[in-house]
Structure 1
Amino acid sequence: MQASDILAKLVGFDSVVGTPNAEIVEWIGAYLKSFGATVDILAGPEGDRSNLFATIGPRDIRGYVLSGHMDVVPANETGWTSNPFVLRADGDRLYGRGTSDMKGFLAASLAAVPMLAASPLMRPIHLAFSYDEEAGCRGVPHLIARLPELCETPLGIIVGEPSNMRAILAHKGKSAARLTLKGRSGHSSRPDLGLNAIHAAAEVLQAAVSTAHSLAQGPFEAEFEPPYSSISVGTIYGGQAINIIPDLCTLEVEARAISGADPAALLLPVHEAAAALERRGFQVQWEELSSYPALSLPRTAHLAGLLAELTGIEPLAAVSYGTEAGLYQRAGLEAIICGPGDIARAHKPNEFILTHELDACQAMIEALGRRCLA
């Protein structure tokens, strides 16, 4: 099958984040087994979602991992000109949800499997496909925990997030949380008898804004845009009517951290402001939504040099979005980002990938396979 044919099949699975993914996992597993790959389907704690890990070549020798996620964001945006879960070709463009982020990488990897399987690999190529990356890399930590039983310590991890086939050495870390404040309702004419959750949330919001202003003063890391850590409140909602004291208010806040900064620690001033409200009678619930560390790979790293040779392009220093690569690095594994497509096309109506981008990715993976012959 050509990469575009495989992509059409993958796009046809509406493997939206947070939903069961048995159909896409079973199809990929059967495809890989047809070429003699060793396949493990690793059920997650949710019970209806699984990671997939497969090996072409010997598992008792150190090799390379191609890492990607099978889930996609929902396709509820207005503006789609065709069914987002049916691949549509228009010239060199292939439209559909997940084409760039990141079923294109999965398709290119799977298209390279026949060549890899027919080669006498001395070092293995592993495929590590995870679930619920779009919810904050929730599936891949379970896969990483199983790696010691699945293979020898990998020489490197190539995470195929869309990067225009240019390797990326670093990204920011992220921590996101949902804060719910519960006060006491009542008539707005007697504010003294209620606890206004929206008013209380304003104090938490001010802590977030003050922290954001402070972070903008440094420390700095010039490779990132912006070159400092940040905090942002993305949603705030509560209340029922103008004449009812609101007893509930919910905020969602995230921190993005430069290398060396703990994203969860950046949220501490916000968390502390919320905790102070408990002493005034409010109930406070803090729910972590996602968390992953920053990635920072030196230019002198083996994987950086290897990807420069395989792609013919010098690596990019950093991007501000995040990936599962930071989690691999935290586990002691060398990781880098390199995949087809463009992140600017992701999470939008009429998401697309170019056929030559798929071809370039498949060629890169096959070149990696040739490196593993000796």
Structure 2
Amino acid sequence: MSSPPVAKSPEEILARLISFPSVVGTANGDIVEWIGTYLRDLGASVTVLPGPEGDRWNLFATLGPADRPGIILSGHMDVVPAAEPNWSSDPFSLRREGERLYGRGTSDMKGFLAAALAALPAIAARPLSRPLHLAFSYDEEAGCRGVPHLLSRLPELCARPEGCIVGEPSGLRAIRAHKGKAAARIEITGRTGHSSRPDLGLNAVHAMAEIVTEAVRSAEALTQGPFDDNFEPPYSSLQVGTITGGQAVNIIPDRCAIEIEARAVAGVDPAGLFAGIEAKLASLSERGFTTRWEGLSAYPALSLRENAPLAVLLGDLTGQEPLPAVSYGTEAGLYQAAGIDAIICGPGDIARAHKPDEYIEIGELAACRKMIEALGQRLSA
């Protein structure tokens, strides 16, 4: 692959990034190679970090002295699938219409990657006294599965950073908090047979009804607190999202499966909200059912104090006070759990994500590029 020019506009870079169909759960070598080549041409130190899947990689790069505390720009390279039939154009070919740029990942969140990469030539030309790092991950859309492998390697790559800016779409308004999340799949296997002899079978759907009932009870209990008024709703939540099972009305169903999720306010372990469900599941095993619990994803809540240096910095860079919280989750909570202050701030709007004709505005990219260039000035002071 030929080396890309080091000076490109955010729109040009975004077009290239969108052309890589880096759908969550699939190989991402092409996009990693292109970004890595671009960064090396700027003189950045680049490390490609393989994940255990064997076909996916995180990427970590540094401009400036890696042995000093600096700032991380964090983003994910994967996107959700674009199989919806009502796209107006090829979702993996950037289309401009007026001031809008359409394509899968434009807002979530290749727009941030493009703005960051476009800002780097100006930053690389400066003598940085503190480093700027880029941490680009895979499979964020599957529950932040890639970034833990990057975080485990961070101590050997740089001095502990002062902070991390996670560029999820926020209208370029910094955000200090989000809820944590855990998701799981539960499968119950019973014993099939003819519905005229229920005494000879073990009905997995009936058994799962007990689990669903417990989930509803747990969800209702959470409405009683603890509370955090920065969120809507201001309490933790739990729901059953999918349920499948059975073959026909006259066959005792021997299998049923559900997927559940919990979202927790700061200070509450999201996985701990499943305790009542796990206890009920154990009781089914004692009655002859086979049960299986599979964790699908988990990440902690983010909670950055109002007067934290990182919050003050982003307020200065954006010209707006950071917002207290948002409802969606990000990798920022994992950075904070690793001992690195984190905050959300990126171009675009989360309301445009995960739907046909996702777009970002050219002005939003330009504003993000300007913000990151201003950050580079701070790191060279």
TM over 0.5, shorter chain = yes
Q: Does 1:75 align with 2:82?
A: yes
Q: Does 1:20 align with 2:27?
A: yes
Matched with 1:204 is 211
Identity fraction in percent: 67
Matched with 1:175 is 182
Distance apart, 1:78 and its partner CA: 2.8
Q: Which secondary structure state, in structure 1, belongs to the residue aligned with residue 20 of structure 2?
A: coil
Q: d(CA) in 1 for partners of 2:277 and 2:103?
A: 39
Distance apart, 1:142 and its partner CA: 0.6
Q: Does 1:191 align with 2:198?
A: yes
Matched with 1:56 is 63
Matched with 2:4 is none
Matched with 1:319 is 326
Q: d(CA) in 2 for partners of 1:356 and 1:189?
A: 67
1:270-316 deviation per Cα after TM superposition (whole angstroms, max 9, x unaligned):
11111211011100000000001000000110000000000001100
Matched with 1:338 is 345
Matched with 2:272 is 265
Q: d(CA) in 1 for partners of 2:251 and 2:103?
A: 45
Matched with 1:122 is 129
- Extract structure 1 runs of 4+ deviating beyond 2 A: none
Aligned residues: 374
> Which of 279, 291, 296 is the matching residue for 1:289?
296
1:167-187 deviation per Cα after TM superposition (whole angstroms, max 9, x unaligned):
000000000000000001111
> Which of 216, 226, 239 is the matching residue for 2:223?
216
> Which residue identity does 1:14 align to in structure 2?
P
> Which residue identity does 1:236 align to in structure 2?
I
Q: d(CA) in 1 for partners of 2:85 and 2:192?
A: 37
> Which of 89, 93, 118 is the matching residue for 1:111?
118
Give the TM-score of the pair, scaled to structure 1: 0.99
Q: Which secondary structure state, in structure 2, belongs to the residue aligned with residue 89 of structure 1?
A: strand
Q: d(CA) in 2 for partners of 1:80 and 1:217?
A: 42
Q: d(CA) in 2 for partners of 1:188 and 1:77?
A: 39
> Which of 359, 370, 376 is the matching residue for 1:369?
376
Q: Does 1:39 align with 2:46?
A: yes
> Which residue identity does 1:76 align to in structure 2?
A
Q: Does 1:348 align with 2:355?
A: yes
Output the aligned Cα RMSD: 0.6
> Which residue identity does 1:323 align to in structure 2?
T
> Which of 146, 160, 171 is the matching residue for 1:164?
171
Gaps of 5+ in 1: none
1:36-86 deviation per Cα after TM superposition (whole angstroms, max 9, x unaligned):
111000001111100000011111111100000000010112321111111
Q: Does 1:245 align with 2:242?
A: no
Q: Which secondary structure state, in structure 1, belongs to the residue aligned with residue 268 of structure 2?
A: coil
Matched with 1:11 is 18
Q: d(CA) in 2 for partners of 1:339 and 1:145?
A: 25
Q: d(CA) in 1 for partners of 2:134 and 2:93?
A: 25
